[in-house]
Structure 1
């Protein structure tokens, strides 16, 4: 993992990997140069970036995750026939996300004295139902095929919505800083954002 200075003079660390793909020096230099330009314009003190290249059929897929000093992160994915174009596509999506929240990201950096607190949790992958569509399953007990360690951030509802937008995620699970309860924000089919808070009843 190497460091690279952003426009604000802070070093951003990089981890650039390829899944069964050789990542040459020219591509790594392109990634670092472009990310410094993109992130440096909109984000306050990015800490590290993870870039993963892979293939899906005949196309290249690039996943980019940039972590900010406050604990939030931005995430984007690109898929193109050319590996450089796949990264550029992901970079363009990330720039759009960061540009949209430029003012709020700056305010978030200035107003949050401490980084977002993260709580450890376990995430499970359950096996999909198999067999004929109209066949009743033998048991309602799900089959766990993988367990993954994850982290739940402590956020305000507004921060959770911003994190969902920055990561292009359909849902964000978080601890509500207002009441310490586990909350969920998610994208609704009608285009609005849903918020679930079990502590708010009546």
Structure 2
């Protein structure tokens, strides 16, 4: 499957020159890892940055079966931020490829085992959700979830579909530096 590249700009205009440069390099990530299906590049100008050199932000997210990698870099120039993030992404891909002995799940999707929840089951108290995210989960072992957590540089938690238990689990870092695993049970 071809690598689909999406480029977004926030608080800045993504000119044709920037778009072409970023698109060409992002498409080339498939040279380093063939199974990349989607690459998302977010370019932003952050007005509230403390340091003027950190106002241009480039974030690259690559996704494929059983992999999700993300890098973010800041600089005083958007192309410099992108180039640094791109090089960091190549290093992450090399780290990912260097992992040996990967186990495989049974191939079932999370939707096959997730319970149906109706809106009647939710409380009527109004909540404000600042951000909502959807992502594809692939069956993986706890060890693979740990590796993904490290590769994504998520310090607190990682949600994944456990191929051993056929359930959604949460791997999290405890205050003492060790890790915990949440294995919810459906009532």
TM-score by length of 1: 0.66
When the two structures are aligned, how many residues end up with a matched partner? Answer: 165
Matched, 1:166 2:151: yes
Corresponding residue to 1:20 among 8, 11, 14: 11
1:45 matches 2:35:
yes
Gaps of 5+ in 1: 1-9, 122-141
SS in 2 for 1:21: coil
1:148 aligns with 2:135: no
Tell me the alpha carbon deviations over residues 79-111 of structure 1, each in whole angstroms, 9 at most, x when there is no partner: 111000111121122122111121338x75xx7
Does the CA contact (< 8 Å) of 1:53 and 1:62 recur in 2? yes
8 Å Cα contact 1:62/1:77 also seen in 2: yes
Task: Name the CA distance, whole Å, in 1 between partners of 2:136 and 2:3.
Answer: 24
Shift of 1:193: 5.3
TM-score, structure 2 length as denominator? 0.71
> Could you tell me how far apart the structure 2 residues matched to 1:114 and 1:67 are?
20
Q: Deviations over 1:93-132 (max 9, x none)?
A: 2122111121338x75xx75986734479xxxxxxxxxxx
Q: Distance in 1 between matches of 2:63 and 2:168?
A: 22
- RMSD between aligned residues: 3.2
Distance 1:84 1:38 in 2: 17
**SS at 1:98 equivalent:** helix
Q: For residues 26-37 of structure 1, what are the structure 2 equivalents within 5 Å?
A: 26-37=17-28
CA distance in 2, matches of 1:116, 1:32: 33
Greater strand fraction, Structure 1 or Structure 2 = 1
Distance 1:73 1:97 in 2: 11
CA apart distance, 1:169: 1.6
Q: Judge conservation of contact 2:110–2:167 (CA < 8 Å) in 1.
A: no
User: How big is the shift at 1:33?
Assistant: 2.7
Residue 184 of structure 1: aligned partner = 170
Query: What is the aligned counterpart of 1:55 among 45, 48, 61?
Result: 45
